[in-house]
Amino acid sequence: MTHPLRLGIAGLGTVGIGVVKIVTQHGKLLEARTGRPIEISAVSARSRSQDRGVDLSGFAWEDDPVALATRDDVDVYVELMGGSDGPAKASVEAAVAAGKHVVTANKALLAHHGQELGEAAEAAGVMLRFEAAVAGGIPIIKSLTEGLAGNEITRVMGVMNGTCNYILTRMYDADLPYDVVFEEANQLGYLEADPTLDVGGIDAGHKLALLASIAFGTQVNFDAMELEGIERIQIEDIEQAAEMGYRIKLLGVAQMTGRGLEQRMSPCLVPATSPLGQLEGGTNMVVVEGDSIGQVVLRGPGAGEGPTASAVMGDVIDLGRGLSIPTYGQPANTLRPVRGVKATKPAPYYLRLSLQDKPGALAKVAAVLGEAGVSINRMRQHGHDDKTAPVTIVSHKTTRDNLDVAIAGLEATGVMAGHPVAIRIEEV
């Protein structure tokens, strides 16, 4: 009989239980597709007594994930605990040192330690796989490392955080303010324990950093990511964008330039008729552009028990088949360090200003923008109260540097009643 592939699963939350269900319910299917049985030897989690809705009595239990990772009856260590350091990092390092393959859904761990872990795994002759770490059930890692491996990738972009997309979609559909929808998402359990990981763009930024490494053959460089979350988006921005034929999305963009690697995760206006503009709810979408393939769009569920467990099992099945692929599509020690740079390609921008309602305010705004090299395409003043006057402006194409100069100048005029909000209008 063919030797089974034996799993040790650390973390029995939503995704971990999803993996247990797939392995126990689809045993014959998995064996047919890999040519060998796939079994769970042992598991680990914070609490043994918690009712997780599945029978775990047939598996050995380890309180310490490091002990689980080094068991003799574990061939593949499946790390589903999360966290960039602590037990997750220690146990993955221990598994690699013990000659175990590793499958993880932990984007934070890889965004911060991916280079050293990739090199360690390849030096030990084991695989480090992480399909589930990016965009849930969308097979974007496999697409980049396998199906699109013959392309020079020119740009990767997408919506990679379902919670943010839910919030922005809900604001648009129900005409509700950000604070109300944020609390609604929190009550539904969509937000991380630290909500800034979601709404601050950090979670999505981790994912983009991993995709950029694979796409451009560079060392993971999350620290160079330009990050801006959706916290400052108000219902007025959603409404104004819609009137102009746009939708607001938390959009990640990575592309190589002659100056270095551009990586940014920030709110953008995208055409409402584009695939990204039509993306609803918690769904994710990744767009890849290559010199031979042109543009490929991948859309699917970005989180949840089934989709993420499906991605984990895709990696497990590859290991069961004996497929050997470098962690980032090429040997980790060949990935080149690269300088992170800010976006310099000109683009139009949407600006929302709150001005003090006094004579000459608009003239001062126009003068400051002109001095900074920011040309106004259209400007609209909305209904105002006795103290403030809301104004929205769409610029002609300009650089972010020019816009930053303009924003600093506006805040020094003495006519601003609040901080300006600037959102890039992205060509997709």
Residues with catalytic function: 207
Distance CA 345, CA 343 (A): 6
- 24: which residues sit within 8 A by CB, 6+ positions away? 40, 54
Distance CA 352, CA 49 (A): 52
| Dihedrals phi, psi of 192, to nearest 5 degrees | -65, 165
| 245 torsion bin: left (phi>0), alpha (psi -120 to 50), beta (else) | left
Neighbours of 110 (CB within 10 A): 28
Distance CA 25, CA 41 (A): 16
Distance CA 248, CA 239 (A): 10
| Contact (Cβ atoms closer than 8 angstroms) between residue 195 and residue 204 | no
| Dihedrals phi, psi of 287, to nearest 5 degrees | -115, 125
- Nearest Cα to 298, choosing from 131, 146, 138? 138
- 51: which residues sit within 8 A by CB, 6+ positions away? none
- 82: which residues sit within 8 A by CB, 6+ positions away? 11, 88, 105, 106, 108, 109
Task: Order the strands of the 101-104 sheet from edge to edge.
Answer: 60-61, 38-44, 5-10, 76-79, 101-104, 128-129
Distance CA 106, CA 207 (A): 10
| Contact (Cβ atoms closer than 8 angstroms) between residue 73 and residue 48 | no
The CA-based diameter of the chain, rounded to the nearest angstrom, is: 87
Beta-sheet pairing, 5-10 with 38-44? parallel
| Contact (Cβ atoms closer than 8 angstroms) between residue 426 and residue 253 | yes
